[in-house]
Amino acid sequence: MAQTDVKAARPLSPHLTVWRPTITYVMSIVHRITGGALYFGMLLLAWWLVAIASGPEAFGTVDRFLGSWFGMLILFGFTWALLHHLLGGIRHLIWDTGAGFSRAGRNGLAWATIIGSVLLTILVWIVGFVAR
């Protein structure tokens, strides 16, 4: 059998061009992205902690950056990534129990993760501003 005949007889492997995106597919990708974002967010937390230990000048620099509109935007995104990743982990924990594998269950948990993470992020920020 010639090389081209073997290639033509092979089935196509599932790929992005073959699958159409579903909510659980997108949530899997977003869960990985938020995990990476949390890594960089922890660097900000470490910078803040080192600045506290270093004295008022270092803390003032970090406080000015994180208090700016850009810093607040980063902190808002970090809060959302943290809560989204947390709820995604709870979704996986539910699956580990054997529940939520029906189509409606999978989609419901995925939408609950999205909606819950947005609402919890807004709630955390409202509580934070009220507590100030």
Its sign, for the CA torsion 43, 67, 125, 74, is: negative
**CA-to-CA distance for 47 and 31, rounded, in angstroms?**
25
Letter for the amino acid at 115? I
E-only strand ranges, 25-85: none
| Nearest-10 crossing angle of helices 23-54, 69-96 | 130
Q: In 66-81, which positions are buried (b, 16+ CB within 10 angstroms) versus exposed (e)?
A: beeeeeeebbeebbbb
Ligand-binding site membership of 85 (annotated) = yes
Largest CA distance in the chain: 76
| Sequence ranges of the binding site | 85
Which residues are annotated as part of the binding site for heme? 85
